[in-house]
Chain A
Amino acid sequence: MLEAQVIKDALLYLGAKKQDEQAISLLEKVLKEYRPLFCPRQVTAFFRVKDAKDALTFEGCEITLEGESIRKHFQGATEGLFSAFTLGMALDKKLRELSLSHPAESVALNALGSAYAERMADKLLKEVRDQKEAQGFKTTFRFCPGYGDLALSANTQIAAALGATKKIGLTVTESGLLLPIKSIVGVTACLPL
């Protein structure tokens, strides 16, 4: 089920507008061969909203989120569910190798990695969101630094508060990029019902 969705998403990422049989068979082959390299890991934490007047701040951690987009996203929320996810470094290395030896496969694997990361991160996060919803909360979609006017630099703060480097091997470069490449950092707002 997940695999079929991943291939569908990857087709879209590749810009295949039709049901391109060649593309599908390549994606299937590449996914089958390199799926063992995907090593999904997630770390999450809830922090209560402390102040939402100007910038959003949270209790018990050093995260400050600025901008109109995140403020809107958190309207009525009392807690933030912070999450970091990565597929791991082995994929980065394989992409580097394939981009030289088998460029078509590297492009396919790159799209598959993005698609798989999105789907898997959603799946893992859903388990945590479901628990929260069972406690009488509504949870929003995952809002990531880079969306709207939320700066990429928020990646650094969130990753630090989650201990993401130590726990799942995710790092943030000085320019705010995530490494390994297929990684996702974000926050879900939790609103009491």
Chain B
Amino acid sequence: MQGFSIFDGAMGTMLQARGLKAGAFPETYNLTHPDIVLSIHKAYVEAGADIITANTFGANPFKMKGLNVAEIITRGVEIAKASGAKKVALDVSSHGALLEPNGTLSFDEAYQNYAFIMRQGEKAGADLILIETMSDLLETKCALLAAKENTSLPVYVTMTYMEDGRTFLGTDPVTATITLCSLGADAVGVNCSLGAKDMIPLVKTICEYATCPVIVQPNAGLPKIQDGQTVYDDTPEDFASAMLEMANLGVTILGGCCGTTPDFIRALKTALANKTPVTRTVKARTAATSATKTVFLGEGVKVIGERLNPTGKKKLKAALIEGDVDYLLHEAIDQERAGADILDLNVGLPEIDEAATLVKVMKEISATVSLPLQLDSSSKEALERACRLYNGKPIINSVNMKKESLDAIVPIAKKYGATLIGLCLGETMPSTHEERFAYAQALVKELTARGIQKSDIVIDCLVLTIATDEKQAEETALAVKQVTEELGVATVLGVSNISFGMPDRLKINAAFLSKCLQAGLSAPILNPLVAEYAEVLKGKLLSLDTSSYFTFEKEGAEGIRGMICCGGVGGIEEAVKEALKTKEPLEIINGEFIPALDEIGMQFEKGEVFLPRLIAAAEVVKKGMDAMRSGEKEEDKDPDVILATVKGDIHDIGKNIVKMLLRSYGYKVMDLGKDVDEQAVVDAWKKTHAPLIGLSALMTTTVPSMKNTIDALKAAGSTAKVAVGGAVLTEEYAQKVGADYYGKDARATVKIAEKVIRS
């Protein structure tokens, strides 16, 4: 069985059989019962395991507060080495907590913990690192980076998938395999959750995509409860026969997980006795991934949404400057619903800290939509930081043939396994298709020489406007054709650049798109919400239906007031425009909007209408306000209200409803988000002197954060009134934490705002 590596089987199962309590840390046995741990390792060595996994699975300072984790890891590795194993693996797994923004653990904190574990393991003499039983792709990436950056050991990585073929956080095996291989894992695969037989389809998929060796560690079948104990239903023979099938698919590193014993490993060893590893052929493909989705470029047309780019977009620019992430999330969701496959993300503005903003927005978008992102920046710092924290394999837009660009961008793409767009540009601007192709050829040569896989290169043939040279459309399309056919790499184009300075832009863009698609363009960068493009893409894009979400009957909806009360969004814009012909905006607000909101608010208070209806009314008002403001300059003033969900709490649905209603009453609201530090609230008040601050908390455990925030505000000399709200709060609680007002619900909070601000 030359060429296979055999891992050991379960440790936890064996320790529980020897008295380990449920919920206790098995790793503490390294200090308290080293003899038991050693005897288990030895049993696996005798059964034929080549690699012994140290008893360090959960040894993490985050979980083991107050314990000597360094010593537990050191002893764990030492005991494993004393078993006589050929090699010892440092065992590493999840923190058991979710990373931001799904949970509260920061990437940096997780990284520090992992770095500590990896360094400790290498120092103790581990031969390799096994990162296993992972569900969260971002946490896995964090652990892999910590291993690579802090040790020189090989790193094997396995994820755990449910019966539906996804991890608990929704990652599929194609996405995990592509992402982890790109990040330089030395072996990737699957462990735990399933029995060996049920794992075969997953393993088949992994073998099709893994550019490194594949590792498999199944459970001993499915768990069953028998007399209050967990037992597994596979025999060693069942296990070994399924493992042999996986070896035939090309798996070369094999072992067991929960429920497996030395008998399973012995049976595995016997089954592989006369086998030699099967050679796999893996097709090189150009891909980008999010945490839950992989998009292949160069295989059918893929649409890259262009709307998250402030160039020429006033509202987006304002949102970026104000830190209004919600606006960007709306743009992301709209593009996903309109059929975009990938979203380009550019936040470059001189007024803001690009690196910090790119990371913040990227995290929120990744947590909200499922599409892979194309990180669009010329800042080395912004790209480095964003690629590091990105949950998946991003696309970088872009590098060009200028030396400073190559030196800055290529190392980032290489380190983080990103797909890299090479822009046909250098010291000179290309004009003809020959010049473009020459740049493309030089880029492929230079990037591969610098260590980028050819399949990770995408070429942008550079679109220049026809306003100054009408031949540009033809030249660009020709270049796309030549690059596709002669270089065999995928292509992207920023389609709408073709019509800068021209009238009838959509018409020109659509025709140009059509031309480039015929030339073989892989991925146009465009606005997926434009119907003209959708037609050209021949049904590949779905149109966005904005009217589908409110099903309220519009019966009896007459006039602006009626429309608001009925919650039907259709027609409000026209109605407002019509009213503006005879009335002042303030008249409409005071005479129509506010009375309607009050009316529906009263009905809500009486329990005659339900919450979504109140929200629907607020949405109609928002549309009406937008229609009133269109063409006007955005009012430049400090916020009336600062809102935040307090530190430690991540529930923000209630706060968001309050925000929406306040805005529809015309208040300017600054939303600091959820899990907000006390200091951030203080800083926001110092900056704006908003007269009202609203704090929300859903859980009793986070109410103290509310008090701390109010105390901090008072200590900082704040004169703002503070209103608090949230499911567990009461009038009494509100007084206890030192708040000025208790906002029972969104409607009550509006009344508070009226009292504080308008009186």
B170 within 8 A of A: yes
Known: A104-B612, A152-B699, A161-B22. A15 touches B607 (CB 8 A): yes
Binding site for A on B (CB under 8 A): 21-24, 94, 96-98, 102-104, 133, 135, 160, 164, 167-170, 192, 225, 228, 326, 329-330, 333-334, 337, 367-369, 549-553, 567, 607-613, 615-616, 619, 648-653, 656-657, 660, 699-702
Enumerate chain B residues within 8 angstroms of A23, measured Cβ to Cβ: 610, 612-613
Does the CB pair B549–A105 fall under 8 Å?
A: yes
A179 within 8 A of B: yes
Does the CB pair A175–B701 fall under 8 Å?
A: yes
Does the CB pair A93–B368 fall under 8 Å?
A: yes
Bound: A62/B552 CA distance, A: 52
Known: A60-B22, A146-B700, A175-B648. A104 touches B550 (CB 8 A): yes
Known: A89-B102, A89-B169, A169-B168. A22 touches B330 (CB 8 A): no
Bound: A20/B567 CA distance, A: 15
Does the CB pair B23–A93 fall under 8 Å?
A: no
A95 within 8 A of B: yes
A108 within 8 A of B: yes
Does the CB pair A169–B135 fall under 8 Å?
A: yes
Enumerate chain A residues within 8 angstroms of B333, measured Cβ to Cβ: 97, 100-101
Does the CB pair B653–A20 fall under 8 Å?
A: no
Other A-B contacts than A92-B102, A97-B368, 15 sampled, CB-CB below 8 A, are: A15-B610, A17-B607, A22-B553, A61-B23, A89-B168, A93-B368, A96-B368, A97-B369, A100-B329, A104-B616, A105-B612, A107-B653, A146-B700, A177-B699, A179-B650
Bound: A161/B657 CA distance, A: 37
Bound: A95/B735 CA distance, A: 32
A32 to chain B, nearest CB (A): 12
Enumerate chain B residues within 8 angstroms of A175, measured Cβ to Cβ: 104, 648-649, 699, 701-702
Does the CB pair A169–B22 fall under 8 Å?
A: no
Enumerate chain A residues within 8 angstroms of B653, measured Cβ to Cβ: 95, 99, 106-107, 110
Does the CB pair A89–B611 fall under 8 Å?
A: no
Does the CB pair B23–A157 fall under 8 Å?
A: yes
User: Within A118-160, which residues are at the interface with B (CB < 8 Å)?
Assistant: 146, 152, 157, 160
| Contact among A15, A88, A162, A173 with B22 in the assembled complex (CB-CB below 8 Å) | A162
Q: Which residue of A lies closest to B326 (CB)?
A: A100
Does the CB pair A15–B97 fall under 8 Å?
A: no
Does the CB pair B702–A62 fall under 8 Å?
A: no
Bound: A110/B164 CA distance, A: 24
B626 to chain A, nearest CB (A): 16
| Contact among B24, B102, B167, B611 with A107 in the assembled complex (CB-CB below 8 Å) | B611
A47 within 8 A of B: yes
Bound: A188/B749 CA distance, A: 39
A130 to chain B, nearest CB (A): 14
Binding site for B on A (CB under 8 A): 11, 14-18, 20, 22-23, 25-26, 29, 39, 44-47, 60-63, 88-90, 92-93, 95-97, 99-108, 110, 146, 152, 157, 160-163, 165-166, 168-169, 171-177, 179, 181
A111 to chain B, nearest CB (A): 9
Q: Which residue of A lies closest to B95 (CB)?
A: A171
Enumerate chain B residues within 8 angstroms of A102, measured Cβ to Cβ: 549
Does the CB pair B612–A62 fall under 8 Å?
A: no
B123 to chain A, nearest CB (A): 28
Does the CB pair A96–B701 fall under 8 Å?
A: no
Enumerate chain A residues within 8 angstroms of B102, measured Cβ to Cβ: 89, 92, 179
Bound: A11/B607 CA distance, A: 11
List 10 interface pairs A-B (beta carbons < 8 Å), by A numbering.
Answer: A14-B611, A14-B612, A47-B22, A88-B168, A93-B170, A93-B367, A103-B619, A152-B699, A172-B97, A173-B103
B28 to chain A, nearest CB (A): 11
Residue from A11, A22, A25, A92 having most chain B Cβ neighbours under 10 A: A22
Enumerate chain A residues within 8 angstroms of B337, measured Cβ to Cβ: 101
Enumerate chain B residues within 8 angstroms of A20, measured Cβ to Cβ: 609-610
Bound: A89/B701 CA distance, A: 22
Bound: A31/B652 CA distance, A: 22
Enumerate chain B residues within 8 angstroms of A60, measured Cβ to Cβ: 21-22
Enumerate chain A residues within 8 angstroms of B192, measured Cβ to Cβ: 166
Enumerate chain B residues within 8 angstroms of A169, measured Cβ to Cβ: 135, 167-169
Bound: A168/B160 CA distance, A: 11
Q: Which residue of B lies closest to A161 (CB)?
A: B23
Enumerate chain A residues within 8 angstroms of B334, measured Cβ to Cβ: 101
Bound: A90/B367 CA distance, A: 11
Does the CB pair B22–A104 fall under 8 Å?
A: no
B705 to chain A, nearest CB (A): 8
Does the CB pair B610–A29 fall under 8 Å?
A: no
A167 to chain B, nearest CB (A): 8
Q: Which residue of A lies closest to B609 (CB)?
A: A20
Bound: A88/B135 CA distance, A: 12
Enumerate chain B residues within 8 angstroms of A181, measured Cβ to Cβ: 651
Known: A23-B610, A100-B326, A146-B700. A171 touches B23 (CB 8 A): no
A47 to chain B, nearest CB (A): 7
Does the CB pair B607–A61 fall under 8 Å?
A: no
Does the CB pair B612–A179 fall under 8 Å?
A: no
B706 to chain A, nearest CB (A): 12
Bound: A161/B230 CA distance, A: 13
Q: Which residue of B lies closest to A181 (CB)?
A: B651
Enumerate chain A residues within 8 angstroms of B615, measured Cβ to Cβ: 103-104, 107
Bound: A18/B329 CA distance, A: 35
Bound: A122/B169 CA distance, A: 24
A128 to chain B, nearest CB (A): 9
Does the CB pair A63–B701 fall under 8 Å?
A: no
Does the CB pair B549–A61 fall under 8 Å?
A: no
Q: Which residue of B lies closest to A97 (CB)?
A: B368
Enumerate chain A residues within 8 angstroms of B170, measured Cβ to Cβ: 89-90, 93
Enumerate chain A residues within 8 angstroms of B24, measured Cβ to Cβ: 61-62
Bound: A106/B615 CA distance, A: 11
Known: A14-B610, A46-B228. A174 touches B104 (CB 8 A): yes
Residue from A39, A99, A104, A169 having most chain B Cβ neighbours under 10 A: A104
Known: A20-B610, A166-B192, A177-B650. A103 touches B22 (CB 8 A): no
Known: A96-B367, A97-B369, A100-B333. A176 touches B612 (CB 8 A): no
Bound: A162/B21 CA distance, A: 11
